[in-house]
Amino acid sequence: MQSVDSTYFLTFTEVKKRIVISVSNDLSTDQRVQKQCRFLSESGFEIALYGRKLKDSTPLERPYFLRRFKLLFNHGFLFYAALNTRLFVALLFAKADAYYANDLDTLPANYLASLLRRKPLIYDSHEFFTEVPEVQNRPFVKLVWKFFERICIRQCDLVLTVSQSIADLLQSTYKLDKVFLVRNVPYERLQINPVSKSEIGVAEHQFLLLLQGTGINIDRGAEELIEAITFLDNIFLLIIGGGNAMSILKAKVDRLNLTEKVIFKDKMPFGEMMRYTAAADLGLSLDKNTNINYKFSLPNKLFDYALAGIPVLTSDLHEVKKIVEGYNIGDVIDTHDPQVIAQKLESLRSNKSQLAVYRKNTSALLNELSWEEEYRPALQKIREIV
């Protein structure tokens, strides 16, 4: 009788641990979640990803299980209630060895499913949610979210976040032993084929600024940036993305007769967005220090600009400034006065040698920072708890 190869038997019977990941957006442009899923999948886990489906959501194909919910409500209390109710039911009956909640708005459903099924719970806080501008002037709403986070976070087996300052805040606020830092650094270097400036509607020799992001909201400096453009000649601004300030910005551009100098593009897939990003001469991140969340934020766009090899101009925020000055990839401005912004932009445009230095230094950042290395300590913890 022929013997069975034991190595074949082990391979055949090996079952991957399944991590169920959830997020409140439609999954199309969330690079952090895509990096989570890809890295965990390549590290030997089976992945199931849950999110939302909106009217304008683009079809998605991913090499793992994907499910998107249609909800009747898209904002306010009813949205969060509907999201967590629908998500809880799905999680409760899903095949899962661990639950992975992205941001506080998906944590309650994950917490309950984890509690009832006695499965590990992972919480990735993309921001300091209880201090976002949307709840700053709504004391009751803020109190409710703080209650949920305080209750749920104590059940978490692993907590991650996007900047050291937010990690320290979460750790001290909720008396946690450790919060893992995983910044929004690139997963890998990309071969980016930039679009031509002429495709954008700008002459090749003209200086092109870029502001991009899925959360171009109030207090992110875009209004003052548009006003700064009125003081400049032959400098053009491309804005890519969405957010609650977009309608205000478009109205402002019309009112100031800047439609030929300020160009808007809707949210687009990451690869396409990076082609536009690489066409720019300078990337912008001008969030204001109006709340704790913005103060300690470390936006995706900062690393997107570096990945595209373009220098940056940023506002004087703690975590952002550490990256910009630490790697010398751009300049920092400590005011949102439109005239001063205009002067700084003109100064940068005229200093081609300095811009070249900033561009070159983006390579040093990419050589040192990678998603794989950033996520490795968290991966080790996940292997221990799942």
Residue 2 has pLDDT above 80, yes or no: no
Rounded-to-integer distance, Cα 19 and Cα 28, Å: 20
Residue type, 332: V
Same domain as 144, residue 94: yes
Same domain, 148 and 265: no
Chain segment 318-371, per-residue pLDDT in tens: 999 999 999 999 999 999 999 999 999 999 999 999 999 999 999 999 999 999
Q: Same structural domain for residues 137 and 61?
A: yes
Q: Is 28 within the bounds of a domain?
A: yes
Position 5 in a domain? no
Considering the entire predicted model, what is its pTM? 0.90
**Which of 347, 349, 320, 343 minimizes the C-alpha distance to 332?**
320
> Which residues, including other chains, have CB under 8 Å from residue 13's CB and lie 6 or more apart?
none
Q: Is residue 3 part of a domain?
A: no
Tell me whether residue 98 is exposed, middle or buried, using C-beta atoms within 10 angstroms of its C-beta: 0 to 12, 13 to 18, 19 or more.
buried
pLDDT at residue 14, rounded to an integer: 63
When computed from its CA atoms, the radius of gyration of the chain, rounded to whole angstroms, is 22
What is the signed CA dihedral for 34, 38, 43, 49, rounded to 10 degrees? 60
**Total domains present in the chain:** 2
Identify whether residues 151 and 277 lie together within a single domain.
no
Residue 310: its pLDDT value, please? Answer: 97
**Sheet (strand 282-285) strand order:** 262-265, 235-241, 207-213, 282-285, 312-315, 330-333
Cα gap 22→251, rounded to integer Å? 35
Q: pLDDT value at position 375?
A: 97
Give the residue among 113, 88, 110, 86 at the shortest CA–CA distance from 100: 110
193-210 pLDDT, tens digit each: 999 999 999 999 999 999
Structure tokens at 220: 């992110």
> Same structural domain for residues 66 and 131?
yes
Same domain, 142 and 31: yes
Residues 240 and 211 in one domain: yes
CA dist 253 and 326 (Å) reads: 35
- Which residues span the domain enclosing 296? 197-368
Task: Specify if 1 maps to a domain.
Answer: no
Looking up residue 262, the CATH number of its domain turns out to be 3.40.50.2000
Reading phi first (left if > 0) and then psi (alpha if -120 to 50, else beta), residue 234 is in left
Q: Is the pLDDT of residue 4 over 70?
A: no
Distance from C-alpha of 232 to C-alpha of 229, rounded to nearest angstrom? 5
Listed range (10-14, 100-104, 360-364) with the worst mean pLDDT: 10-14
226 and 163 within one domain: no
**What stretch of H or E contains 79?**
helix 76-93
Interior/surface letters 41-77, b for 16+ CB within 10 angstroms, e for the rest: beeebbbbbbbbbeeeeeeeeeebeeebbebeeeeee
Task: Output the pLDDT for position 217.
Answer: 83
